[in-house]
Structure 1
Amino acid sequence: MSANNQPLIPVTILTGFLGSGKTTLLNRILKENHGLKIAVIENEFGEEGVDNDLLMQNEQENIVEMNNGCLCCTVRGDLVRILGDMAARRKKGEIHFDQVVIETTGMADPGPVAQTFFVDDLVAESYILDAVITVVDAKHGMQQLDEHREIQQQVGFADRILLSKIDLCEPGEVDALKKRLAKMNARAEQMESNFGVAPIAKLLNVRGFNLNSILDIVPDFLDEDKHSHNDEIQSFVFKQTKPFDGAKFEEFMGSVTQVYGADMLRYKGILYIKGSDRRALFQGVHMLMGLDWGRKWEPKEKKESKVVFIGRKLPKDFITQGLELCLAR
């Protein structure tokens, strides 16, 4: 809950490389009668933007209501300012929306946009970051991953990966791409989309950034791909049935983020802490990390820590060995 006891507005960041199909998806979200009042913010407006007939063009930011109740806003200035303005107008009853989708440009790193919801107090009073959705062109994804660092970062940040243009691919192409993406980001659920048709219920209100969400990691994926890709972005999972010393864990991870934070895109997990009957929920973006207490361990539940790290050329052995030293003696 926010300071004024109003429910926080969930925000989805929609990212993807140029031509991946995210604008097609965005147009579908705007036009579809899904019963949701969605405010769509285009973080930079260009030729590839939302259908021109849906928008009134002028020099300033504009907020336009669609015929299905959705809003569309183009941002040429400060994202924090426009989010604050929209929240204030919503509070006064001038506009109404239930959630926000922010579309980033095709070459953008979604990290700074995601961090906005952690570091700006005024934004945090009204909004909660729900998830990062990354659209990947299934036909050209392999080549784009080889050639562009930006798409690797977009994959690394994702809570959901939406594969577009499946209809143009051979089955083997899609399978190979899925395995590669899973190796880069072990915790993002992958879904398929054609012509903007996507399971919207699985993309919005998924609480991918919520510390109380279920952590679903499938580390088996990491061992399946025998093809070697020299991807900068990779993920690894740390698992341990022995409990952590909570103070040692926080001290170690604090030092790790100070040194490697710029290359740590996402890290998230459930911790078994000595002396507590509750699961500790841990996550971070770059240098910003948080630890919160979740539900109690069930009587028959296996107590274990499970943390996934996603980043750029992270020192896996150093982090793994350091975490082992943080276990309770």
Structure 2
Amino acid sequence: MNKPAHNMIPVTILTGFLGSGKTTLLNRILKENHGMKIAVIENEFGEEGVDNDLLMQNDQENIVEMNNGCLCCTVRGDLVRILGEMAAKRLAGTIKFDRVVIETTGMADPGPVAQTFFVDDLVAESFILDAVITVVDAKHGMQQLDEHREIQQQVGFADRILLSKTDLCTEDDVTALKRRLVKMNARAEMMISEFGVAPIDKLLDVRGFNLNSILDIAPDFLDEDKHTHNDEIQSFVFKSTKAFDGQKFEEFMGSVTQVYGPDMLRYKGILNIKASDRRALFQGVHMLMGLDWGRKWEPSEKKESKIVFIGRKLPKEFITQGLELCLAR
């Protein structure tokens, strides 16, 4: 997970359960006069896709230009191939766009799409993953979270969570849903999005996958919750003011990802490493893990390690105890 070069194309993954309102949001992005050239990729959509009249196309060309300069493309085949073609056309000057938004299907786990940007060398040369945005239907969210593991994965992967249809709910219902979502993902910022209205500047350049991005953890994350839900996806935070032994940390986390990687959706942290005056920045997706050096610790700053883990039924005690053993003696 290297630092992006200036000419890298930022990519946003837009996900959300069937009927959550992500397509309404996408249509706004495609039509609004925001002055940005955004290429939107619809990754295998059914009847709930972008307005069909926007996608009238011939067999030779699968990229359609919108009135506001955005491009829309449907992916019937391989996402890697489409991204490669788009990057080549952009380089050749035959199409122009500044960033990409990929909409996944309502039943999709965004994990494999996210991994594409780290695993495939050709994609990683041109594109940098900016963030995963998840739209949650506030009216039906509680029930959907109970019944579908896909929506739990979508929430777990999110850098931003947009709540739609809050106008159809009581304030108490929205509060209860927010608390549940925070328990599942302690680091995603939440915002309301009615009828696809959302501040575009809050959805783009989030730098959620950038090692230097701020590690936001919901302040009320550990508050007692009257409503307990046995969600598969949960998050927990490890904190310590003691310095880590860097080698022990890397070895332990390497073994953890080998065993639990498929169930580790996102994990991210700032580390205080012994004998270093710089903050170590750490994050991972499933088994892919990256560590980099950040800025120097400020003299007035408390040198505290802080890591958030988001995943499916992760062994919290085992991971926490293992990390304690990695602290320098």
TM-score range, shorter chain: over 0.9
* Cα 1:227–1:141 shift into 2, 3 Å: same
Deviation at 1:199, TM superposition (A): 1.1
Shift of 1:52: 1.3
CA shift, 1:2, in A, is: 9.7
- Distance in 1 of aligned mates of 2:141 and 2:259: 31
Contact 1:219–1:237 under 8 Å retained in 2: no
Say whether residues 1:86 and 2:89 are aligned partners: no
Instruction: Report if the CA contact (8 A) 1:3-1:125 is conserved.
Output: no
Is the contact made by 1:61 and 1:74 (CA closer than 8 Å) also made in structure 2? Answer: no
| Partner-residue secondary structure (3-state), 2:327 | coil
Contact 2:4–2:128, Cα closer than 8 Å, also in 1: no
Shift of the 251–8 alpha-carbon distance from structure 1 to 2, 3 Å rule, reads same
Match of 1:159 in 2: 159
Partner of 1:295: 295
Q: After superposition, where does 1:27-106 map in structure 2 within 5 Å?
A: 27-59=27-59, 62-106=62-106
CA contact (8 A) 2:57 2:64 kept: no
Share of identical aligned residues, percent? 88
Partner of 2:11: 11
CA displacement 1:159-199 (0-9 Å, x = unmatched) = 00000001101000000000000000000000001000011
- Aligned amino acid, residue 41 of structure 2: I
CA contact (8 A) 1:64 1:71 kept: yes
Please report the TM-score for the alignment, with normalisation by the length of structure 2: 0.97
Question: Is there any run of 5+ residues in structure 1 with no aligned partner, and where?
Answer: none
TM-score by length of 1: 0.97
Inter-partner Cα distance in structure 2 for 1:164 and 1:130: 22
Matched ranges for 1:199-218 at <5 A: 199-218=199-218
Structure 2 equivalent of residue 315 of structure 1: 315
User: Could you say if the C-alpha distance between residues 5 and 187 of structure 1 is closer, same or farther in structure 2, counting changes exceeding 3 Å?
Assistant: closer
Q: Distance in 2 between matches of 1:114 and 1:3?
A: 16
Which residue number corresponds to residue 122 of structure 2?
122
How far 1:220 moved relative to its partner? 2.8
Alignment correspondent of 1:239: 239
Per the TM alignment, residue 109 of structure 1 is displaced from its structure 2 partner at its CA by: 0.3
How far apart, CA to CA, are the structure 2 residues paired with 1:5 and 1:253?
28
- The verdict on how the C-alpha distance between 1:61 and 1:74 changes in structure 2, with shifts beyond 3 A counting, is farther
Structure 2 unmatched runs, 5+ = none
CA-to-aligned-CA distance 1:55-79 (integer Å, 9 cap, x gap): 2234466001111110000001000
Partner of 1:305: 305
* Equivalences for residues 275-290 of structure 1 within 5 A: 275-290=275-290
Q: Residue in 2 aligned with 1:267?
A: 267
CA distance, structure 1, for counterparts of residue 80 and residue 170 of structure 2: 43
Is the partner of 1:224 in helix, strand or coil? coil
Q: Tell me if structure 2 keeps the 8 A contact 1:270–1:305.
A: yes
Q: What is the Cα deviation at residue 223 of structure 1?
A: 2.2
Distance 1:5 1:179 in 2: 37
Cα deviation for residue 218 of structure 1 reads: 2.3
CA-to-aligned-CA distance 1:303-323 (integer Å, 9 cap, x gap): 010000000000000000000
Provide, for residues 225-267 of structure 1, a one-character-per-residue CA deviation record: whole Å limited to 9, x for no partner.
2211010000000000000000000000000000000000000
**How far apart, CA to CA, are the structure 2 residues paired with 1:91 and 1:264?**
36
Match of 1:211, SS? coil
Task: Judge conservation of contact 1:130–1:205 (CA < 8 Å) in 2.
Answer: yes
- C-alpha RMSD over aligned residues: 1.6
Q: Which amino acid aligns with 2:242?
A: K
Task: Spell out structure 1 runs of 4+ moving beyond 6 A.
Answer: 1-5
Q: Which amino acid aligns with 1:314?
A: L
Distance 1:305 1:3, change over 3 A: closer
